[in-house]
Structure 1
C-alpha cells in the first residue's frame, strides 16, 4: 500500500505507533528527550520511505520473475548481481555509507528476489 493509497482508504499504518515510546523517560532531561524524539521522528520518516520503496522494488522484481518464468529464464542472473554489487558499493562510497553494509543489504534483497522468482516458477509448474 502506498502512502497515497493509505490516505484514500482512511487507513493509517501508524495508528498504534507511539513515536515517544522509550525506556529513557525519567532518566534524561526533558529537553534532551524532546531533541531525541525530533531526531527519531526523522528516522521514522526514513524508515517508512524505505518500506514503501522496497515494496515498489519488489513489485518490479515480481514482474521480472513472471517474465523470466514465462520465457524459461533462470531465477538468478549472476552477471547482473555482480554488476549491481559493484555499482552499489561505489554509490555507498560516494554517500559515505559502509560499502560492505551496502553489499550485505543488496545480497539480502537479491536472495529474497531469487526466492520469489523460484516460487513463481513452482506455481507455474
Structure 2
C-alpha cells in the first residue's frame, strides 16, 4: 500500500484484517449516527410544529441512565458512554433549536 511506514509494511496479516474490521465498524458507526440524526431532525420538525421545547430533560436523564446500564452490560466504560451520548444529545438540541428558529 502506498505511503506505508516500514512498520506497517511488516505488520502481520492478522493486524491488517483487524484494521479492516475496525474501518468497517467505524463506517457503520457513522452511518448509524447519520440515520439517528435523520430521525431526530424529524422529531425536531414535529416539536417545532407543535411548539414543544427542544429539550426534554427528564427524557435525556432517563436515556443517560439506560445507556450507562447498557454500557455496563456490554463491558464499555459507563463514563465514556455517557460522554458520548451527551455529545450526541447536545447536537440534537442544537438542531432542534435551529429548526424551531426557521419556523
* Alignment of 1:26 onto 2:6: yes
In the TM superposition, what is the alpha-carbon distance from 1:33 to its structure 2 partner? 3.8
SS of 2:6's partner is coil
2:61 pairs, out of 82, 89, 94, with 82
Number of residues paired by the alignment?
A: 103
Q: Which runs of 4+ in 1 moved over 2 A?
A: 20-23, 27-30, 32-35
C-alpha distance in structure 2 between counterparts of 1:41 and 1:35, whole Å:
10
Number of the residue aligned with 1:109: 88
1:60 pairs, out of 39, 47, 55, with 39
In the TM superposition, what is the alpha-carbon distance from 1:106 to its structure 2 partner? 0.3
- Which residues of structure 1 form unaligned runs of 5+? 1-19
- Aligned CA RMSD, in angstroms, stands at 1.7
TM-score (normalised: structure 2): 0.92
Q: Which has the higher helix share?
A: 2
C-alpha distance in structure 1 between counterparts of 2:88 and 2:74, whole Å:
20
In the TM superposition, what is the alpha-carbon distance from 1:43 to its structure 2 partner? 0.3
Task: Return the structure number with greater relative CO, CA threshold 8 A, min gap 6.
Answer: 2
Number of the residue aligned with 1:118: 97
Number of the residue aligned with 1:38: 17
Number of the residue aligned with 1:95: 74
SS of 2:51's partner is coil
